[in-house]
Structure 1
Amino acid sequence: MLSPYHPLQLALGLTVWIIWFALMYGVLAVACKMAPPLAEQGPFTWINVALLFSTLSVTGLLLFWANACWRAYRAGIGQTSPSRLFIARLGAGINLMGAIATLSLGLMALLLPPCL
């Protein structure tokens, strides 16, 4: 991971989220075209299990980064420059927002069949 004070923290969480989002729907489209599961299976298919695993992995990574940025912010209060604290605090929020967006979209794999 980059330093929690690095300016790239301001774009990292949402960049990871958009890459996950594009890959998730791209892989879903290809999987549904090549090997669609039976509609009678409902949401409990190999495609949804794979999507759920990737969702939980990316969410965990983003939450780890958010926690690291927040800890750096808390540890740096009074010891580092305000601009570095701003980057760490905002980076924590952006990573948390990316984790929430990933989890909210990915949990649809528990509710919906993959190839509607």
Structure 2
Amino acid sequence: MNKGLTLDDLAVPLRVLRLLVTDFGHLPAPEIFVSTIYPDRLELRFHDDLSGFELWRDVLGIVPDAVDYREQGGGRTRVLKASAAYAGAVLVLIGYGDVPAPVPVGAAA
């Protein structure tokens, strides 16, 4: 924790959060993360809801090619991550979702 920072030092991401609530309050609610380690960053995290991630990505104008894809948990969890500059802050979207189980060979469709 950075003991030299004050709440005023987090004004930029908190202001962006206020703008997002005003402009996009109808969209799915993410987990919201602000950190003293990265005082210019606001993270919006979507757990078990990649559709929420995609809605936010679209309204923020982040192109699909700018989304990083990886897997964690032994290949059981998809992780989508994208970031963009927004109103003076770095806005980071992170989405977590299950990787569908493979269909066994010979199973009926």
TM range (shorter): under 0.3
Q: Could you say which structure has the greater relative contact order, defined with CA pairs below 8 angstroms and 6 or more residues apart?
A: 1
TM-score, scaled relative to structure 2: 0.27
**Bigger strand fraction:** 2
TM-score, scaled relative to structure 1: 0.26
**Bigger helix fraction:** 1
